[in-house]
Amino acid sequence: MIQLPPDARGRFGDYGGRFVPETLIPALDELARSFEAAWADPAFQEELAWHYKHTVGRPTPITPAKRLSQEFGLDVYIKREDLCHTGAHKLNNAIGQALLAVRMGKKRIIAETGAGQHGVATATACAMFGLQCVVYMGSEDVERQKINVFRMRLLGAEVIPVSSGTKTLKDATNEAMRDWVTNVQDTHYIVGSCVGPHPYPVMVRQFQRVIGDEARAQMLEGPGQLPDVAIACVGGGSNAIGFFHAFIPDTSVRLIGAEAGGHGLETGEHAAPLTAGSPGVLHGSFSYLMQDEDGQVVGTHSVSAGLDYPGVGPEHSFLKDTGRAEYHAVTDQEALDAFVWLSRLEGIIPAFECAHAFALLKKLDLPRASTVLVNLSGRGDKDMESASKLLEL
């Protein structure tokens, strides 16, 4: 087994670490210890596996995309995280962390959410385990994603709109961190992506790696080969890191992340820190982010609320700098186009987020007949209202 980062201090190369107020450090130490113990405990692994199967509905299949393959002259397979309970990969992590919270005796759960997918996944896990659930959501996102707000409330969660700063995911995360600093003794914070202070980036990766572990085995079992290329969208980066992880030692597999190019990198209105940002500290870890000359984090834009975030998980920064993975920006328009053609070629309506990943099939000049595996991180149901406003069909 190849020893992969992070090191004991949560560093992936230079990236990661812990940049939070002192008040939280003891809680992060406790969390790191509890996670490591749980991960090494066969009873926990068994419980997690049970929930992956019976709650989330795993394993999710890989679907050969016949018409899409023909269209692009490629051999495309799709990993179907859209078939997870609640409609996206987010539940893999929310269930894992909720199980851990129960083990740690924490009765109150908080979370941040952008599009609402992580909020819904967390509210779902809390309903199952009888935990109190508070979700912070930017007031603009509360307006944009009304149905998911209703879903969370229906599941018994309290949704708190955050109207500071950008009124979106970045500031919802700030507010969740403030809640945690205040209520750290009885509260567990279920971070929704592979961001934040150590141990979050590694813990979220471990709860999401089931995506790549399954997909790798399924590729070997079905098509009988590893993919030449594996593509996923990158917001905070959790579906991508979970998907990439199993393939990192397979150096023949080209790993590609799709970032939100918004209105185009040249406009500055995007959410592509790996492609167009620089390293700095946001939300507790050192990683690429979008910032100005004075170190202020700048506003972002993406048609996809789940990618509309100025930071990214530290492991992606590491994979970028080491060259093991590459990252490309996809504009709103390219993603919307892919949203339509994927629906029509394969009968699969993707979430706006992973429409970005599919757009790269067209945008990148991949060698003909390459075997390509794309991670479909979630389904498009949540985006129907936005899509109906953006698209003339």
Ligand X SMILES: Cc1ncc(COP(=O)(O)O)c(C=O)c1O
* 107 annotated active-site: no
Closest CA to 144 of 377, 311, 384, 332: 384
Cis peptide before 310 (omega within 30 of 0): no
Q: How far apart are CA 337 and CA 132, in angstroms?
A: 40
Minimal CB distance to ligand X: which residue?
378
Closer residue to ligand X (CB): 109 or 335:
335
Q: According to CB under 6 A, which one of 234, 274, 282, 345 is a site residue for ligand X?
A: 234
Give the closest residue to 152 by CA, choosing from 190, 186, 182, 111.
Answer: 111
> With CB under 8 A, what is the number of residues at the site for another protein?
36
- What mask, x for binding ligand X by CB under 6 A, covers residues 190 to 219? ---x--------------------------
Output the smallest distance, CB 65 to another protein, in A: 40
Provide the 10 A C-beta neighbour count for residue 2: 5
Distance CA 166, CA 149 (A): 19
Nearer to another protein, 255 or 290 (CB): 290
Binding track, positions 129-168, relative to ligand X; x by CB under 6 A: ----------------------------------------
Quote the longest CA-to-CA distance of the chain.
Answer: 56
Stretch that binds ligand X, among 158-166, 230-238, 278-286, 332-340 (CB under 6 A): 230-238
For the question of residue 112 being annotated catalytic, the response is yes
Structural contact between residues 364 and 235, judged by C-beta atoms closer than 8 angstroms: no
Clarify whether 90 is annotated catalytic.
yes
Least gap, CB of 162 to another protein (angstroms):
11
Helix (H/G/I), strand (E/B), else coil: 37: helix
Q: Contacting another protein (CB under 8 A), which of 17, 59, 199, 236?
A: 17
Rounded to the nearest 10°, the torsion over CA 378, 270, 169, 258 is: 30
Q: Name the region of 139 (left: φ>0; alpha: ψ -120 to 50; beta: rest).
A: alpha
Q: Encoding tokens for residue 185?
A: 């003794």
CB of residue 377 vs ligand X: minimum separation in angstroms?
Answer: 3
- For the CB of residue 117, give the shortest distance to another protein in the complex, in Å: 22
Residues 87-106 that bind ligand X (CB under 6 A): 88
CA distances from 249 to 13, 41, 253, 287 (A): 17, 25, 9, 22
Catalytic residue among 81, 112, 140, 353: 112
Among 96, 196, 212, 235, which residue interacts with ligand X (rule: CB under 6 A)?
A: 235
Site string for another protein, 268-307 (x = CB under 8 A): ------------xxxxx------x-xxxxxx---------
**183 near another protein, rule: CB under 8 A:** yes
Going by DSSP bridges, is the β-strand pair 11-12/15-16 parallel, antiparallel, or unpaired? Answer: antiparallel
Asked if 117 is part of the footprint of ligand X (rule: CB under 6 A), the reply reads: yes
DSSP 8-state assignment for residue 52: I
Q: Cα dist. 116→66, 113, 140, 241, 339 in Å? A: 32, 5, 12, 20, 19
Residue 188 is a binding residue for another protein (CB under 8 A): no
Q: Which of residues 4, 7, 21, 388 is near another protein by CB under 8 A?
A: 21
Our separate counts of H helices and E strands in the chain read: 16, 14
Q: Which helix (H) or strand (E) holds 75?
A: strand 75-80
Catalytic one among 317, 377, 382, 386? Answer: 377
* Residue 377 binding target from ligand X, another protein, none, CB below 5 to 8 Å by type: ligand X
Residues in touch with another protein (CB under 8 A): 9, 17-27, 164-165, 170-171, 174, 177-178, 181-185, 280-284, 291, 293-298
Residues in touch with ligand X (CB under 6 A): 88, 114-115, 117-118, 193, 233-240, 306-307, 351, 353-354, 377-378
Which residue numbers are catalytic?
90, 112, 377
